[in-house]
Amino acid sequence: MSNFAPEQVPEAPLSNTTTEDSPTRAVLHTAVIETQYLPPLETFARLLAYPRVRFEAHEHWVKRSYRNRTHVAGPSGLLVMSIPLVRRGGDRRLSGQVRISYAQPWLREHWNTLVAGYRRSPFFEYYEDRFEPLFNAEYERLIDRNTALFQFFAEALEWSVDLGQTEYWDARVPMGCVDFRNAVMPAGGRPDPFYRAPEYGQVFGARHSFLPGLSIADLLFNEGPASREVLLKAIGY
């Protein structure tokens, strides 16, 4: 894992545009995105072709996003899990400085929620021994916890990606990069014209019908090694 100095990024060999919905599908760029907790599968579908990802550490904190929340399935349907944060600095905090609060036992609560939702899925036990330790470790900064989880999913998807953080704020990402910041949000965002939300088997599908827009964890535990192919088809590859 390494940091990202924008001036060190080489020119894009395919296109000079820096928006993720360019007609020219870039595969050799660096993707810049905000940190996300157990990101939605759409995030992975849109990033999977990129060999480098840099998490934005110098933006001001944005509420009502996936930065510290995620959507998963449970016996009763859609569940939202949120990481509690240390309240300091208000909305002027930089994302890379946001600290996690452990005043309440949320780590164990989140893990128990995932177990209740996915213990019966085809592949939960296959990944459990590598996944559970991430819910026993107390990271101080949110961006570090999210990065560790992102790395777990990347490895499970057999995606060789270089992860790092931005070193300073730039409203426009440098040439050779693609800006995914705030592209995938619980409400709004920037739709990708190539993305088609996939449907796949879910543990409680017969009870609730298909639940779209869930965490990458939902896809991985239900589809296992086939998850990568599901993501590639969703983005048109």
CA distance 179 to 105: 35
Q: What is the pLDDT of residues 94-151, one digit of tens each?
A: 999 999 999 999 999 999 999 999 999 999 999 999 999 999 999 999 999 999 999 9
CA distance 194 to 202: 24
Task: Please give the tally of structural domains in the chain.
Answer: 1
Q: What is the pLDDT of residues 39-53, one digit of tens each?
A: 999 999 999 999 999
The mean pLDDT of the chain is: 89
DSSP 91: G
91 pLDDT higher than 70: no
Q: Is residue 30 part of a domain?
A: yes
Q: Is residue 208 part of a domain?
A: yes
CA distance 114 to 117: 5
> Which value, in Å, is the radius of gyration of the alpha carbons in the chain?
17
Q: Model-level pTM? A: 0.87
Q: Where are the beta strands (DSSP E) in 105-187?
A: 162-165, 177-179
φ/ψ region of 236 (left if φ > 0, alpha if ψ in -120 to 50, else beta) reads left
pLDDT of residue 22: 44
DSSP 1: -
Q: Is residue 50 part of a domain?
A: yes
Domain enclosing residue 110, as ranges: 6-234
Q: Is residue 1 part of a domain?
A: no
Q: Is residue 121 part of a domain?
A: yes
Q: Is residue 68 part of a domain?
A: yes
